[in-house]
Amino acid sequence: MGIDRREFLKRTAAIAGVTLLGGSSIAHAADKKDFSKFFTDNTANERDWKIWEKRKKQSQPNGEPYGILVDTTFCIGCRRCEWACNNWNKNPNQPVEKFEASVNEKNSVFNDVRRTHAGNFTVVNRFEKKDRDPVYVKKQCMHCVDPACLNACFVDAFRKTPEGPVIYNPNVCIGCRYCMVSCPFGIPAYEYFSAFHPQITKCTMCYDRVVDGRMPACVENCPAGALIFGSRSELIKTARRRIDSNPGRYINHIYGEQEAGGTSWLYLSPVDFDQIGLRTDVGTTPVPDLTKGYLLGVKIFEMVSAWPLVFGAYYAVSKLREHRNDKHAGGPSDTGKKT
């Protein structure tokens, strides 16, 4: 079976932990059978961070940043990308046949719209449409050009690599989870069931493969040609070409070209993006720009302008008081109260 002994024990312990005090919302959520929430000790983050540190020292020449184009019109919902991702990143996994079977099953994971979890970096969701075939949409970290998580992290645990992937360092993370709050796509997940060394997990865009000149595991395993790996700028041209030369097949928008300041993952869709689970209200401003102005303002205020203001007020008030005291010389002073 796909589950080994160690993992089984861990899951049992986690479930025991949940039931001991009477169930939490994690257990009550739509996909009850999804054990990926309880998974802990993923090693993908650490592996990638080590590679990044090594490459930083070597100062390798950087090419153009990579991206991945998801053409949802090609996706057949086989979920092989999920399998390949779990397989490469050592997440809880099942035989690939089980993933492939979902598309034909009546009761499958497709009944719910799923999100990423601690042991599940990518999920494929199905969106039923009235007058056409359902649309299958893969979901994972978008690897923003200007990432919200990186900006939010108060111990500087994220990096935007020159190759495109956004990676995370579990060795400095304090576990505040502000990256999860600020991510506009709702991607980072947390190892809630690790008591002593929980970490953030998310798609790594297979940084460890990309730096070796290989494509991410999901792209390599896609049998339908729905995922294309390449330089981001080339992919935008490809996407544009596809829209232009196939009238009616796509709506005229490349999701990710501008969203939240641009992302490494790009999407093409036959229907409006908000109908296939992609937020269209994230805007085109990078999330870091939403806080930059405030941060600069507060720093200037605290370091420069606050001091003269406060001192000035203090000085003015004490002058005024002196003046008043002089006037009422001999009278009861209002400063005479005992401390």
Partner 1 sequence: MENTSLWLKNKILLGMTPKEYLKINLTLPNLIAALILCVSVPIMVYRIIYGLGPSTNLSDNYPWGLWIGFDILVGIALAAPGLTLGTAVHLFGMKKYHPFVRPAILSSLLGYIFAVIALMFDLGRYYRIPYLLVWSWGFTSILFLIGWHFFLYINISIVEFSPVLFEWLNLKKWKDFFSKLTVWATIFGVIIAAGHQSALGALYLAARAKLYPLWYSPLLPIFFLLSAIFAGISMVIVESALSHRFFANQIKDFDHAEFDQLTLGLGKAASSALFIYFLLKVFDLVRTENWVYLNTSYGYLYLVEVLGFVLVPAMIFLYAVRQQNAKLTRFAGLLTVLGVVLNRLDVSIVAFNWYLPASQKYYPRWTEIMLTLGVITMLVLSYRFIVNRMAILHAHEESEPESMPMAGKKQAVNF
Q: Which stretch binds partner 1 (CB under 8 A): 52-60, 92-100, 113-121, 203-211?
A: 113-121
**Where do we find the tokens 């049992």?**
12
Q: Determine if 8 is a binding residue for partner 1 (CB under 8 A).
A: no
Looking at residues 263 to 282 of the shown chain, list those that interact with partner 1 (rule: CB under 8 A): 279, 281-282
Of the candidates 288, 39, 46, the residue with the CA atom closest to the CA atom of residue 167: 46
Edge to edge, what strands does the sheet with 265-268 contain?
227-231, 66-71, 265-268
Q: Of the two residues 229 and 267, which places its CB atom closer to partner 1 in the complex?
A: 267
Q: Among 180, 211, 224, 271, indicate the residue that binds partner 1 (CB under 8 A).
A: 180
Please report, as residue ranges, which positions from 219 to 258 form the binding site for partner 1 (by CB under 8 A).
Answer: none
232 within 8 A of 160, measured Cβ to Cβ: no
Among 70, 125, 131, CA closest to 103: 125
Least spacing, CB of residue 97 vs partner 1, in Å: 28
> Across-strand partners of 166?
160
Are 124 and 138 in contact by the 8 Å Cβ rule? The answer is: yes
Which span sits near partner 1 by CB under 8 A: 72-80, 91-99, 213-221, 296-304?
296-304
14 binds partner 1 (CB under 8 A): yes
Show the tokens assigned to 72: 């949802």
Assess 156 for contact with partner 1 (CB under 8 A). Answer: yes
Amino acid at the residue 122: T
14 vs 78 by CB, closer to partner 1:
14
Residue 89 binds partner 1, judged by CB under 8 A? no
Shortest Å distance, C-beta 31 to partner 1: 11
Of 59, 63, 195, 323, the residue at the interface with partner 1 (CB under 8 A) is: 195
Tokens of 336: 């005479």
Residues 24-83 that bind partner 1 (CB under 8 A): 24-26, 28-30, 37-38
SS3 labels along 18-57: HHHCCCCHHHHCCCCCCHHHHCCCCCHHHHHHHHHHHHHH
